Structure formats: C-alpha cells, structure tokens
Amino acid sequence: MKKQRIVVKIGSSSLTDDNGNIVEEKIADHTAAIAAMKKEGHEVIVVSSGAVAAGFKALGYPSRPKVMAARQASAAVGQSLLIQRYISHLAPKGFPAAQMLLTKGDFYSKGRFQNFYTAITELLSRGAVPIINENDSISIEELTYGDNDMLSALVSGFLQADGLVILTDINGLYDSNPKTNPDAKRFNFVPVITEEMLKAAGGSGSTVGTGGMKSKLLAADKAQSLGVSVFIGNGTGERKLLDILDGKGDGTYIGSPMQPHMQRKKQWLAHHAKPAGSIKIDAGAEKAVVKGGKSLLPVGVTAVDGLFDALDVVDVINEKGKLLGRGQVLYSSVDLEKVKGLPGPEAKAYSINERAEVIHRDNWVTIKNQ
C-alpha cells in the first residue's frame, strides 16, 4: 500500500462515556489503530476533541457546563488530562505524542501559518504523532467551531493530506436518523456534499460534544474543496484505520481520492487571511481574472474601499457587489486610488515593486459559490 498522510479527527463521543468521563478502553482502541498505521509507514495527525469533556468532572461540575468561563476552565484542566492519556498509550508503542493547541489567529497570520507547517513536518519526520486541539481555554470563538470538525478539514488541506478520517459514534451518513428510524439506509459512498444533505443533517448527538452530523458534512465539503477525500464513520480494533484506507471502513466515503490539492498559499488567502479592504472591478477585468487566469491590472479597477498597505490581502468584487476572490495587493489604497482605470505603464511607478499588476495571479484565489 502507498504510504499516506492521514488526518484522524476523534470526537468527544468517541473518547468519553455519557457522563463525560474519559474511557480508557476507547483511548486504547484509537491509539492501537494509530500505532498500526504508523508501523505500516503512514503519517498520522490526530485532531482530538475531549478537553472540556475530560476536565469538567475534575472541577466538580455535574455535567458539561454551558457557561463560557466554566467551559474554558474545564478545557484548561482537561487538555493535560487528555494528552496524558495519549502519551501513556502511544509511548510504550514507540511513538511520541506531541500536543499542539491552535486558535484561528494561528491561521490568520501568514507567518504563524507557515511556522505551524514547519513544526508539524519536523514532528512527522521524527516519528511523532501530533495531537491537535483548539486552544479552548483562551479562545472563545473556537469553542463554537463545530467540535473540531472544521479544524480537522483545514488542517488536512493545509498539510495536503491524502485523506481525512472523521471518527464518530454513527457509522456513516444515512438517509434519515438511524437512532430513531430502524429502516434508515446508509450511503457507502457520496461524490459530493449537497444542500439537501446539509438541510437533513441534525445537531450534536452527544451531551459531551458540540459537533453534529451537519458540522461533519460542512467539514467534509471544506476538505473536498481543498483536495482531500473524507471518510465519516467508526470502527473498533487496531486495524480499523488500515481498513478505512483499504476501502473496507464502517462508514461513508466522500469524494474522489484523486483530487488535486489547493496550494497552501492559496488556502491561506481563501480561508484564513483577514481582508483589509476591497477593490471593485469592471466586467472585462472580471472575465480576465476569474475565467482567463490573468493578473488584475489597474485599468480594470473602478473603486477602492478601505485603507490598506501594499501586500495586504483584499477582497475583489464585481460591479454587482458579488465577491469574486481575494489576493495580495501590490498597491496601497492611497496609490491605487490614483491609478485606478489607468493603463499599466502609467500606473506601475506607484506599485511596491514597480510592476503593473494590482494583484498577480500567483497571489490570487477565486472564491466560488458566493
């Protein structure tokens, strides 16, 4: 079998009992499967939920707390309890476990975005198993991010993984809720996530997690857009992950395994960078940039909104206000106001590198489905 890089997302319900206690047998089962993958030469990155679920009992809460401060406190306690369990099971098998806590800010910053890649690449080269979680104890925004489902999709795309495995308490996607309808039929394979599937998906099926099937479908859709095929399901035993790679997993396979990956720089532009302003362009420029793959030139710019510097990221909209894409601009907003509508030779003196392009095609990404 070809050696592959796989991101495995493990949800709270796959780690704990109904009361939120970590179940040692579940940790042992997951880590045995991870170790089996590693022994076959595959790279495994784990995105693990469970910090809040692991910590709230230790602080005396009778159930998973609803108040934000209590959830943050639970996560602060639970992170160490969670990683201790992974270490205790992986270390005897010869694989160090490395904890990595992320926030959305780590993806907003291009420098931190690259630093994360450098660090995780080194960990993988040394045989470690990165255990990634959102830094829930200090980041309010992340606590409602879909129980790490979307984070696992973004990480899988960023690392150009061969596949994303989302382990959950239901063995795949069904045409109705299998917990309430005994005649529900499972989909073994779906090529794409549709709007109908999203509308039919429900919320969280667990009292210890925040993600439901809808968040998993949204994550699968995101991973597919980044060139990563997805499996949603469950299983037991040390071969469960290897079986998934062999096409014998207990769940649903989503998308083709032969999709091209989106470049990391373009992933950052499309999904993480915060636009500092916007540029409106005419129909000719829209056709050239979006359909023709050309760079954006000053002659096609009709309006500038916001204050930004050269090399900032900006949104690009058409005359109807529709978002077309996003890119790094080579003019400040002040200078772009001076040269909008002008031919390139007359404008390039105002560019940071004395080139005509407002946004070079290498620093541009088209935003679809807007």
pLDDT digits (tens, 9 = 90+) for 131-152: 998 876 666 554 444 468 888 9
Q: Tell me, what's the pLDDT at 167? A: 94
What is the DSSP track for 235-270? --STTHHHHHHTT--EEEEES-TTPPPPPHHHHHHH
Quickly state the pLDDT bin for 271 (edges 50, 70, 90): confident
Tokens of 58: 């230790």
CATH class of 5-265: alpha beta
Dump pLDDT digits (tens) for 44-60.
Answer: 999 998 888 888 888 99
Tokens of 94: 């010869």
Nearest-CA neighbor of 46 among 160, 137, 132, 172? 132
Round to whole Å and give the CA distance between 68 and 62: 16
Round to whole Å and give the CA distance between 216 and 27: 21
What letter would DSSP give residue 368?
P
Q: Is 226 helix (H, G, I), strand (E, B) or coil?
A: coil
Interacting residues of 93 by C-beta distance below 8 A, sequence separation 6+:
31, 32, 35, 38
Q: Tell me, what's the pLDDT at 139? A: 60
User: Phi and psi for 10 in degrees, rounded to 5?
Assistant: -115, 120
Sheet holding 301-305, edge to edge: 301-305, 277-281, 313-317, 323-328, 364-366
CB atoms inside a 10 Å sphere around CB 279: 28
**Contact assessment for residue 271 and residue 368, using Cβ atoms and an 8 Å cutoff:** no
Q: Tell me, what's the pLDDT at 256? A: 72
Q: Could you tell me which residue, 181 or 127, shows the higher pLDDT?
A: 127
Interacting residues of 205 by C-beta distance below 8 A, sequence separation 6+:
13, 169, 170, 179, 212, 213
Render the burial of 206-223: b for 16+ CB within 10 Å, e for the rest.
Answer: bebbbbbbbbbbbbbbbb
Q: Report domain extents, the chain.
A: 5-265, 275-366
**Cα-based distances in Å from 191 to 86, 158, 194, 218, 284:** 34, 22, 9, 14, 34
What letter would DSSP give residue 223?
H
**Contact assessment for residue 226 and residue 153, using Cβ atoms and an 8 Å cutoff:** yes
Tokens of 302: 């009709």
Q: Is pLDDT of 205 > 50?
A: no
**Contact assessment for residue 7 and residue 124, using Cβ atoms and an 8 Å cutoff:** no
The CA-based diameter of the chain, rounded to the nearest angstrom, is 70
Please compute the mean of the pLDDT values over residues 269-294 and round it to a whole number.
92
Tokens of 360: 């070079």
Q: Tell me, what's the pLDDT at 210? A: 41
Q: Tell me, what's the pLDDT at 206? A: 41
Dump pLDDT digits (tens) for 60-110.
Answer: 998 888 888 898 899 899 899 899 999 999 999 999 999 998 877 777 777
Quickly state the pLDDT bin for 32 (edges 50, 70, 90): very high
Tokens of 147: 């129980």
pTM of the model: 0.75
Tokens of 222: 């995101």
- What single-letter amino acid sits at 141? E
Round to whole Å and give the CA distance between 311 and 333: 11
**Contact assessment for residue 191 and residue 259, using Cβ atoms and an 8 Å cutoff:** no
Question: Domain 275-366, CATH 2.30.130.10 — does that match?
Answer: yes
Dump pLDDT digits (tens) for 211-266.
Answer: 478 889 999 998 988 889 999 999 999 999 999 999 999 999 998 765 667 777 88
What letter would DSSP give residue 209?
-
For residue 44, list its beta bridge partners: 6
Please compute the mean of the pLDDT values over residues 328-348 and round it to a whole number.
93
